[in-house]
Amino acid sequence: MKVTSIRTTPYWYRTDRPFADVNFPEGRSEWSGLAVFVDTDEGLTGVSIGGNAAGIEALAPLVVGRDPSGVRGIWKSMVDQVFKGGNRGAITGAIAAIDVALWDLKAKAAGQPLWKMLGASVPRVRAYASDIGYCLSDDELRAFYARMAARGVTAGKLKGGMDPDRDIRRLRIMYEELAKAVPAGRGGSTERPTAAPIEPLICIDANEYWNAKQAIPYIRTLERAVPLFWVEEPADRWDYEGLANVSRAVEAQVATGENLNDPKEIVPLLTHGAVDVVQPNVGHSGITGMLMIADLAYGFNIPVAVMNSPGNYLAHVAASMPNHLMIEVVDAGRDNWFKVDCRIEDGEVVLGDRPGLGWETDLHKLSELSQPPEHRDAFNFGRRKGAGILIHGENR
């Protein structure tokens, strides 16, 4: 089988609810995406999303004419091609989108679901609910976690970082709702430490808003009120010394890594003791890069926790990682032109047996979504002004 062409279709959509974190606390419901199709001479097409059309066009000559079953070799060709500028930013998104579509093809050609192709023995992955809902009211937050608890989810992650009193109030809301799903006998005591993590597992994500010195007293304040399982990105993603200081100073696990790009960037986190839970993301140069990251972490006895994805398609990859802890689910209607063969049940993402990523695509719907909206707001997806020690004064 040989790749004959790569096609892309941009699309625009609204999520079921706004997403927000400390960097854009006002929230946003309007998003765009890029559908990616890798065609072959045998009629199979690999599908993925993400990346940018210009990057994919630039990389296509390295892929067309090659057998998609050699996906890891093709991945190396793409990474080597961008070596001088670095495998990061927009171009790593393009590498990732092509890589995911090639894995989809490889599994489809074998007639297997991707989880099986990747070597998973069980098609189930523990889920944690993630609100990405800094802008949600307390009632909306409670409703979200109640809905996830009704599906058996017993772990969650709150967006916070600017106001410890607000965070504690909202962490308690999450705790109360998720605790309803914890089976009898599995709940921990909040009165004294135990070897087993206390369920429900309560996490908070500061999205790199603090520096390490700010993070430590802030997290300690939270920990006096609620049992925290992990604190996510408590400092800049490259601040290996600072993250290590946070890890030593607080009870919670330090989770980070989602915004790095090349698998090699995880190494200094591991060697500095700067991470307790590594977070593989599709932005780590695709499925091939995510697998490398999980193996690197395994060598350091560090668990991994895969980031969210539309339709939870990354659960295929998570299921294959022997050191996987739990996958982020947001459940917000981003799988609008495709459905993934999976469901959330008893607190787990349960994958089906459809070949490849298991997507059922609706190309008519994609065509409808491919008309750009008349009014598109400028959206700053950058770091919040005032992050780090500039939290006070004019930069707040």
Q: What residues make contact with Mg ion under the rule CB under 5 A? A: 205, 232
Burial class (CB in 10 A: 0-12, 13-18, 19+), 61: exposed
**Which is closer to Mg ion, CB of 47 or CB of 329?**
329
Nearer to Mg ion, 13 or 128 (CB): 128
339 is written with which tokens?
Answer: 């459905």
State the nearest-atom distance from the C-beta of 281 to Mg ion, in Å: 9
Q: CB-wise, 207 or 288, nearer to Mg ion? A: 207
- Provide the residue count of the chain: 396
* Least distance CB 82 / Mg ion (angstroms): 25
Q: Is the CB of residue 219 less than 8 Å from the CB of residue 228? A: yes
Q: Which is nearer to Mg ion, 153 or 158 (CB)?
A: 158
Strand partners of residue 32: 12
Nearer to Mg ion, 154 or 207 (CB): 207
Taking the least distance from each CB to Mg ion, the nearer of 40 and 207 is 207
**CA dist 125 → 109, 317, 318, 327 (Å):** 24, 10, 7, 7
If one counts every other C-beta atom within 10 angstroms of the C-beta of residue 193, the result is: 11
Q: CB 255 → Mg ion: shortest distance, Å?
A: 8
Residue 134: CB minimum distance to Mg ion, A: 12
Give the relative orientation of helices 164-179 and 138-149 as an angle to the nearest 10 degrees.
30
Q: How far is the CB of 205 from Mg ion (least distance, A)?
A: 4
Query: Which of 158, 129, 127, 125 lies closest to 146, judged by CA?
Result: 129
Shortest Å distance, C-beta 19 to Mg ion: 12
Nearer to Mg ion, 167 or 232 (CB): 232
Helix (H) or strand (E) holding 124: strand 124-130
Q: How far is the CB of 159 from Mg ion (least distance, A)?
A: 8
Residue whose beta carbon is closest to Mg ion: 205
What is the residue-wise DSSP string for 12-79? EEEEEEEEB-TTSTT-EEEEEEEEEEEEETTS-EEEEE-S-HHHHHHHGGGTTTS-GGGHHHHHHHHH
Least distance to Mg ion from the beta carbon of 132, Å? 8
Say how far apart CA 7 and CA 38 lie, in whole Å: 7
Give SS3 for 328.
strand
CB closer to Mg ion, 149 vs 305: 305
